[in-house]
Amino acid sequence: MTQHKYVVSVPKPHSSAYNPDRPISDLVRNQILHLSVAERSLEKRHQSPVDVHAIKTERQASEYIHHLTKKLHGRAKQSKPSKKTNPRSKKSGRKSREAKRKD
């Protein structure tokens, strides 16, 4: 294995950095709301009974996100897209930069 020329050392976070009982941020709340919309595409038996508006702590959010991500990834594995028989050509109708320079 080759050594990378530039290595950035990342310090370990302080043990008190993660507080599972801390209120969730707006970013996490939006992620939960987006996941709840994706959850609607699952069968009823796979949907979580959790009211996403009742999630208040990072621990609750973590449990919900973990549960739903597991279900959505399982669904993706089951419905793999079929291979295309005629892949689209990568060439476009436009001239390349080199061709434009020559003109």
User: Exposed, middle or buried by CB within 10 Å (0-12, 13-18, 19+), for 85?
Assistant: exposed
Nearest to 18 by CA among 66, 62, 68: 62
Residues 8, 24: contact at Cβ < 8 Å? no
Print pLDDT tens along the chain (103 aa).
Answer: 678 888 899 999 888 888 899 999 999 999 999 999 988 888 888 888 889 999 999 999 999 999 888 888 876 666 666 555 555 555 555 565 656 566 5
Task: Identify the pLDDT of residue 54.
Answer: 96
Instruction: Establish if 31 belongs to a structural domain.
Output: yes
Task: Identify the pLDDT of residue 72.
Answer: 82
Instruction: Establish if 88 belongs to a structural domain.
Output: no
Q: Record the pTM.
A: 0.59
Residues 64, 35: contact at Cβ < 8 Å? yes
Residue-wise pLDDT for 9-24, tens only, equals 999 988 888 889 999 9
Domain with 65, as residue range(s), is 26-78
Instruction: Establish if 53 belongs to a structural domain.
Output: yes
Domain count for the chain = 1
Task: DSSP letter for 8, please.
Answer: -
- 3 three-class SS: coil
